[in-house]
């Protein structure tokens, strides 16, 4: 069974996922990086050349592919991936879902210098955008989560400890 990390941009899904997979000795799949590798360009470029809808379709195909391989892994999702209903149902079947939760003001602080590679944030007022997207998304994150981990503070190793403890793996 896989462990799936969900949460808003800036919640640390990729860093925590890589560390957790290393500790558990299982593969790590970062769906964003995987899409970039397959497409041969950055997510920002995909949004720019093909649009958000095309990117969302790539996320869905990626998830369905992961489900079909059935390989046990730590999987970190993009912040918006759980929002499509079809993705949510695949995510549920992939394994145990862990929501890395942080309040909007913590996320804003972490994302302040990182909007360039994040097309969902670029060009917006950061505080307002994080606030409204988080409000839109948090219900889904909570609904899908088997375990919720507060990542407002604490280092990556501590967060991994909490995940291992809470999931009982
Ligand atoms: C997105 C989050 C990004 C990436 C894309 C869209 C979103 O991933 O998938 O830019 O809609 O929240 P991270 O959450 O890893 O930044």
Neighbours of 145 (CB within 10 A): 19
Neighbours of 150 (CB within 10 A): 14
Q: Answer whether 16's CB lies under 8 Å from 5's CB.
A: yes
Give the per-residue pLDDT at 116: 85
Degrees, nearest 5: CA angle 26-114-4: 25
Tell me how far apart the alpha carbons of residues 160 and 99 are, in angstroms, rounded to a whole number.
13
Q: Which residues line ligand 1 (CB under 6 A)?
A: 9, 13-14, 32, 43, 78-80, 118-120
Residue nearest to atom 8 of ligand 1 (CA): 78
Q: Answer whether 48's CB lies under 8 Å from 94's CB.
A: no
pLDDT at 126 over 90: yes
Q: Answer whether 75's CB lies under 8 Å from 62's CB.
A: no
pLDDT of 30-42, one tens digit each? Answer: 999 999 999 999 9
> Which atom of ligand 1 approaches the CA of 35 most closely?
9
Q: Answer whether 5's CB lies under 8 Å from 147's CB.
A: no
> Which atom of ligand 1 approaches the CA of 137 most closely?
12
Distance 158 CA to ligand 1 centre (A): 24
pLDDT of 154-165, one tens digit each? Answer: 899 999 999 999
Task: Over range 103-116, report the average pLDDT.
Answer: 94
Nearest to 1 by CA among 75, 76, 65: 75
Distance 135 CA to ligand 1 centre (A): 16
Residue nearest to atom 10 of ligand 1 (CA): 118
Listing from the earlier edge strand, what are the strands of the sheet with 28-30?
28-30, 74-76, 2-6, 95-101, 147-150
Average pLDDT, the chain: 97
pLDDT of 10-69, one tens digit each? Answer: 999 999 999 999 999 999 999 999 999 999 999 999 999 999 999 999 999 999 999 999
Residue nearest to atom 3 of ligand 1 (CA): 78
Neighbours of 68 (CB within 10 A): 9
- Work out the percent of the chain whose per-residue pLDDT is above 70: 100
* Structure token pair of residue 79: 């912040």
With the most atoms of ligand 1 within 8 angstroms of its CB, the residue from 39, 59, 80 to mutate is 80
Contacts of 6 (CB under 8 A, 6+ apart): 13, 77, 81, 82, 91, 97, 98, 99, 100, 141, 144, 145
Task: Write down the pTM of the prediction.
Answer: 0.97
């Amino acid at each position: 069974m896989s462990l799936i990390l969900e949460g808003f941009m800036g919640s640390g899904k990729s860093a925590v996922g890589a560390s957790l997979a290393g500790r558990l000795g299982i593969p790590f799949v970062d769906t964003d990086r995987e899409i970039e590798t397959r497409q041969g360009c950055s997510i920002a470029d995909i949004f720019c050349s093909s649009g958000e809808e095309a990117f969302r379709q790539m996320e869905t195909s990626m998830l369905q592919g992961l489900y079909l391989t059935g390989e046990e892994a730590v999987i970190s999702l993009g912040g918006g991936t759980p929002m499509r209903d079809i993705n949510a149902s695949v995510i549920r079947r992939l394994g145990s879902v862990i929501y890395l939760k942080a309040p909007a003001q913590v996320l804003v602080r972490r994302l302040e210098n990182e909007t360039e590679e994040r097309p969902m944030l670029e060009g917006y007022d950061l505080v307002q955008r994080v606030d409204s997207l988080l409000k839109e998304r948090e219900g889904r994150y909570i609904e899908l989560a088997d375990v919720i981990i507060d990542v407002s503070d604490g280092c990556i190793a501590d967060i991994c400890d909490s995940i291992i403890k809470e999931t009982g793996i």
